[in-house]
């Protein structure tokens, strides 16, 4: 959310143009398959990537995918979702700077995190419903501290699982793209949310 100090914001149109230019450049050099390994799941961010790919494909012959949205918004059951449930949490309510992302930092850079997350109360917001109502920032959605989920329940083990699973799925999606096999798609409900945004 661009309302928090220090946050850098790119318009969806800016991202779409960058992705379009990247795809065109790679396609001109003969690349036929492009994978955007994406971890940022903001609907505008995903829309920008998809829009850029679509624009470039109008004039160039290549195939491309964005990975993060397919992992999280396709409805596929992930191993780390099971681990989140074991912590007594609902994976669909863990959205941003949540138990998963805090676990990643706890695993990769524990000194940076320290114990700052331990006393944070859970914050749950229905991002889809809020977006459909026209709210575009975390402040407007009610997440005034910048996180949605339960960072206090983070564990290093969940961070390891999240990283390993994400890497495995990205590699799997890339191989399937190359082989022409089916890859999970973003589900219809999330597509509706993404469509609300304009690049």
Q: What percent of the chain has pLDDT over 90?
A: 70
- For 30-155, where are the alpha helices, taking DSSP H only? 43-57, 68-73, 79-86, 99-108, 110-113, 127-132, 138-141
Residue 1 has pLDDT above 80, yes or no: no
Report the predicted TM-score, pTM, of the whole model to 2 decimal places. Answer: 0.86
pLDDT digits (tens, 9 = 90+) for 141-152: 888 888 999 999
d(CA 144, CA 106): 23
pLDDT digits (tens, 9 = 90+) for 74-126: 999 999 999 999 999 999 899 899 999 999 999 999 999 989 899 999 999 98
């Amino acid at each position: 959310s661009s309302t928090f100090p220090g946050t850098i914001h790119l318009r969806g149109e800016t991202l779409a143009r960058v992705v379009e230019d990247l795809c065109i450049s790679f396609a001109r050099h003969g690349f036929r398959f492009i994978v955007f390994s994406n971890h940022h799941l903001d609907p505008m961010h995903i829309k920008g990537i998809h829009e850029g790919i679509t624009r470039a494909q109008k004039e160039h012959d290549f195939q491309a995918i964005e990975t993060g949205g397919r992992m999280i918004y396709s409805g596929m059951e992930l191993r780390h979702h099971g681990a989140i449930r074991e912590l007594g949490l609902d994976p669909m309510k863990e959205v941003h700077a949540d138990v998963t992302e805090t676990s990643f930092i706890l695993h990769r850079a524990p000194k940076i995190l320290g114990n700052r997350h331990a006393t944070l109360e859970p914050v749950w917001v229905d991002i889809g419903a809020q977006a459909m109502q026209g709210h575009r920032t975390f402040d407007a959605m009610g997440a005034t501290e910048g996180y949605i989920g339960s960072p206090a329940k983070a564990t290093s083990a969940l961070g390891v699982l999240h990283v390993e699973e994400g890497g495995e799925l990205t590699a799997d999606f890339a191989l399937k793209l190359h082989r022409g096999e089916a890859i999970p798609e973003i589900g219809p409900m999330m597509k509706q949310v993404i469509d609300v945004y304009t690049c």
